[in-house]
Amino acid sequence: MRHLLTLFDLNSHELNRILSAARVLKKMHAGGQRPAVLQHRVLALIFEKPSLRTRVSFESGMAQLGGSSLFLGDDVGFGKREAPSDFTRVLGQFVDGVVCRSFSHDTAATLAKYDCVPVINGLTDLAHPCQAMADVLTIEGEFADRPLTENHLVFVGDGNNVSRSLALICAMLGMKFTLACPNGYELDQPWMSKISERYPDAKLSQTTDPIAAVSTADAIYTDVWTSMGQEAESAQRRKDFADYQVNSDLMKHAPETAIVLHCLPAVRGEEITDDVIDGPQSRVIEQAGNRMHAQKGLLAWLLNPHWVGENVPE
């Protein structure tokens, strides 16, 4: 049974197969084709956190691939009414896969523990693998005239679940990654050590200087300074990140060809200004759209590998 809790669950070849499937399905979608790759398959979505992109992109993606989805709220009682083992094994009798969007990564890990159906991490406090795959599709599409390995992704902000996943996917694909953040907000050492062990040639760095970081960036990425569940820290975080706003002054130090990314939702006027997120270098809407295409590639790879083998070039 294969799961995607973090990108460590994949090797680089498998990741590239998923991205290739995403590209094929995206091209077909653009041409008006919606092949029934997952006809009669059912995907369950268990969400503890509110969502626009994750929920709608998975539900729409399943529908476009000929399948269906079920959004499971508090009424199903996961973790409350019955033992997780009973809940998960019973759920596996009805559906073909599960997307879990939770506060604690342990929640998603618990669902995967019983190996009933593939479990996909739709966001946890540890990682956001589906977002990272969509981000790579966006960067690749923008700079299609050169190898992905020649791109430099700079994340201006926190060493959070999104930047963890970005650092890892850059290591897997040979891209350069830099985190620009205040002291105390770096990527955690256990995560970085695991990346280094798995990908010793990874081109990863961290700095406290956002100006120097963006000077060679191809993509400049930011996220909210205070994530869901960190509200008590918001005042301190606004103070600590005051010099890390992605604004027109910072963009003056970046190449004119650099694009701006944000996983959304954004706190406009905090981590990013209106003129940048709505400006000509912004690709945040295309980036959001790529969530569906990346996840369609992932769903096809997990639930119909035969179709991927026959229709996706190596």
Residue 146 designated active-site: no
The DSSP H or E segment spanning 205 is strand 203-207
User: What is the number of other CB atoms lying within 10 angstroms of the CB of residue 185?
Assistant: 20
Catalytic residue selected from 53, 105, 131, 158:
131
User: Distance between the two ends of the chain, CA-based, in angstroms?
Assistant: 23
Residue 75 designated active-site: no
Catalytic residue selected from 17, 170, 263, 283:
263
Q: Is 111 annotated as a binding residue?
A: no
Residue 34 designated active-site: no
Q: Is 11 annotated as a binding residue?
A: no
Does residue 110 contact residue 3 with C-beta atoms inside 8 Å? no
Q: Is 223 annotated as a binding residue?
A: yes
Catalytic residue selected from 17, 41, 291, 293:
291
Q: Is 20 annotated as a binding residue?
A: no
Q: Is 146 annotated as a binding residue?
A: no
Does residue 173 contact residue 136 with C-beta atoms inside 8 Å? yes
Catalytic residue selected from 223, 245, 262, 293:
223
Q: Is 128 annotated as a binding residue?
A: yes
Q: Is 64 annotated as a binding residue?
A: no
SS3 180: strand
Q: Is 291 annotated as a binding residue?
A: yes
Please give the backbone phi and psi of residue 242, each rounded to the nearest 5 degrees, phi first. Answer: -55, -35
Alpha-carbon gap, residue 119 to 115, rounded angstroms: 8
Residue 291 designated active-site: yes
Alpha-carbon gap, residue 221 to 154, rounded angstroms: 6
Residue 293 designated active-site: no
Residue 223 designated active-site: yes
- Catalytic site residues? 101, 128, 131, 223, 263, 291
Annotated binding site for L-ornithine: 161, 223, 227-228
**Residues contributing to the annotated binding site:** 101, 128-131, 161, 223, 227-228, 263-264, 291
Binding residues for carbamoyl phosphate: 101, 128-131, 263-264, 291
